Amino acid sequence: MSEGAVEAIIIDGKKVAKEIKGELKLRVEKLKESGVTPGLAAVLVGDDPASQSYVRGKAKACDKIGIYSEVIRRPADISQDELVEIVSGLNAREDIDGILVQLPLPDHIDEMTITLLIDPAKDVDGFHPHSVGMMLLGHPTFLSCTPYGIVELLRRYDIDPSGREVVVVGRSNIVGKPVGAMLLQKAEMANATVTFCHSRTTNLKEVCRRADILIAAIGRAEFIKADMVKEGAVIIDVGINRVEDGTTEKGYRLVGDVDFDGCYPKASYITPVPGGVGPMTITMLLTNTVQSAESRAAKQKK
């Protein structure tokens, strides 16, 4: 760290996620007092280990704050018609406030057909084109969970993006595009000047060095190096990559898209991997589910 510089603050996603879950638990208790129990249904097709682990994590998180969760497991050879029937049934159930179909789906199933089928009022993943479109237009909607989590981390650490230059490295539909769009909005915790970078960006290093807030979501282990970061930048690392490490029991370790050790001395704030953005994704899914249940409770009062 350069002389006179202040040591970077590590953005603790685990701590923030725990705080939000505590707040959600109180909202769930209030809902139950009015006769409404939030309900989340996850549809898991096939036996992908990562998907199974993720769905287990969601169910466990729901249980801790009092959300009813249901996991519907089906084999990888399920027909598209069968899956359509399952999702349609969940759309019709009054006790289910949120529906998520765990991706990826087997190749013989069209993901967009299934995504479009989910009732936008229960689209707690924020993937439905209706949700994405409403977000782009600046209207209230369910926000995609990882980008939502990033914005919430900035909020909780009093990092206001207004008027600042944000560079997003990555253009996926799940993280890169939506987080940039959210920070661009004319709204609280937004009003940033946003630049998107990707594999075809020329002078990538120079563009990244302009960033007051640098969001790395490119899916390449430790891709962002210290010479791509300006002094005092806020660094948000979305990546989760396995790299071989013979010194560990598992034979690998998890790293982000940012060279943490190299970039830490130049940053003002930085997220670690693991323990940064990761814990926020499920937390914001729970937030969306509780919000959906609160909408159901409000309708029942009328």
Told to judge if 125 belongs to the known catalytic residues of this protein, a careful annotator would answer: yes
Residues in contact with 123: Cβ distance below 8 Å, sequence separation at least 6, in sequence order: 98, 99, 130, 131, 142
The rounded distance, in Å, linking the Cα atoms of 251 and 62 is: 31
The rounded distance, in Å, linking the Cα atoms of 60 and 216 is: 28
Told to judge if 300 belongs to the known catalytic residues of this protein, a careful annotator would answer: no
Catalytic residue among 21, 102, 123, 212: 102
Residue 156, classed as helix, strand or coil, is helix
For residues 204 and 228, the answer to whether their CB atoms sit within 8 Å is: yes
Catalytic residue among 125, 237, 257, 259: 125
For residues 85 and 94, the answer to whether their CB atoms sit within 8 Å is: no
For residues 194 and 185, the answer to whether their CB atoms sit within 8 Å is: no
Catalytic residue among 21, 58, 122, 266: 58
Find tokens 């009732």 and name the residue.
119
Strand (E) or helix (H) holding 41: strand 39-45
Token pair in block for residue 237 = 């690392």
Residues in contact with 105: Cβ distance below 8 Å, sequence separation at least 6, in sequence order: 45, 46, 83, 111, 114
Rama region for 256: left / alpha / beta (φ>0; ψ in -120 to 50; rest): beta
The rounded distance, in Å, linking the Cα atoms of 241 and 255 is: 5
Catalytic residues: 58, 102, 125
